[in-house]
Chain A
Amino acid sequence: MRKLSAKIIPKLAPKLVPKLKKLKLISLGFCQIFLYLLIGEFLSTLIPLPPAILGLIACCGACLLLQKIPESLDIASSFLLKNMAIFFIPYVVTITLFWPALADYWLACLVALFISTLVTLSLTSIVSDKLIERTTQESTKRSRCHAAMDDKK
Chain B
Amino acid sequence: MPSATMLLMLALNLLITYTVFNLSSKLYHYCKHFPLIHPLILSALVLVALLSVFDIAIEDYQQNSQVIMMMLAPATVALGVPLYKNLAVLAKYKSAIFIPLLLGAIISPCSALLLLWLFKVDSSLLLSMISKSITSPIAIDITKLVGGIPAIAVIFVIISGIIGAALATPLFSLLAIKHDISKGLSLGIASHAIGTSSAVQISEQCAAFSVLAMCLNGLLTTLVIVLYSLI
**Residues of B at under 8 Å CB distance from A?**
17-18, 20-21, 25, 39-41, 43-44, 47-48, 51, 58-59, 61-62, 65, 68-69, 71-85, 87, 92-93, 95-97, 99-101, 103-104, 107-109, 111-112, 115-116, 119, 121-122, 125, 129, 132-133, 135-138, 141, 149, 151-152, 154-156, 158-165, 167-168, 171-172, 175, 177-179, 181-183, 185-187, 189-191, 193-194, 196-198, 200, 207, 211, 215, 218-219, 222
Interface size on A, residues (CB 8 A): 76
Contact check, A125 vs B111: say whether CB atoms are below 8 A apart.
no
Residue of A nearest to B76 (CB): A52
Q: Given A36-B80, A109-B125, A113-B163, does the pair A125, B44 have CB atoms closer than 8 Å?
A: no
Given A64-B84, A94-B62, A125-B100, 11 further pairs, Cβ under 8 A? A60-B84, A63-B84, A69-B84, A80-B74, A86-B17, A90-B68, A94-B58, A121-B168, A128-B99, A131-B95, A132-B179
Contact check, A131 vs B189: say whether CB atoms are below 8 A apart.
no
- Interface residue? A23 (CB, 8 A): no
Query: B74 touches which one: A37, A50, A112, A135 (CB < 8 A)?
Result: A37
Contact check, B158 vs A92: say whether CB atoms are below 8 A apart.
yes
A119 cross-chain contacts in B, Cβ below 8 A: 107, 111
Report B188 CB to chain A, min CB distance, Å.
Answer: 9
Query: A126 touches which one: B119, B156, B158, B175 (CB < 8 A)?
Result: B175
Query: B198 touches which one: A80, A85, A133 (CB < 8 A)?
Result: A85
**A-B pairs with beta carbons under 8 Å apart, 18 shown:** A33-B77, A53-B137, A56-B79, A85-B25, A86-B68, A89-B20, A90-B69, A91-B69, A92-B44, A95-B44, A102-B125, A117-B133, A117-B164, A121-B164, A123-B104, A124-B100, A128-B181, A128-B185
Q: Given A69-B81, A81-B82, does the pair A53, B156 have CB atoms closer than 8 Å?
A: no
**Residues of A at under 8 Å CB distance from B?**
30, 33-34, 36-37, 40, 48-53, 55-60, 63-64, 69, 73-74, 76-78, 80-98, 101-102, 105, 108-129, 131-135, 139
B177 cross-chain contacts in A, Cβ below 8 A: 125-126, 129
Residue of B nearest to A114 (CB): B163
Contact check, A88 vs B190: say whether CB atoms are below 8 A apart.
no
Contact check, A120 vs B189: say whether CB atoms are below 8 A apart.
yes
Report B16 CB to chain A, min CB distance, Å.
Answer: 10
Contact check, B179 vs A76: say whether CB atoms are below 8 A apart.
no
A87, B73: Cα distance in complex, Å:
9
Residue of B nearest to A50 (CB): B137
A127 cross-chain contacts in B, Cβ below 8 A: 99-100, 103
Query: B73 touches which one: A51, A69, A78 (CB < 8 A)?
Result: A51
A97, B155: Cα distance in complex, Å:
10
B96 cross-chain contacts in A, Cβ below 8 A: 128, 131-132, 134-135
Contact check, B21 vs A76: say whether CB atoms are below 8 A apart.
no
Contact check, A53 vs B175: say whether CB atoms are below 8 A apart.
no
A124, B164: Cα distance in complex, Å:
13
Query: A52 touches which one: B77, B167, B168 (CB < 8 A)?
Result: B77
Contact check, B194 vs A88: say whether CB atoms are below 8 A apart.
yes
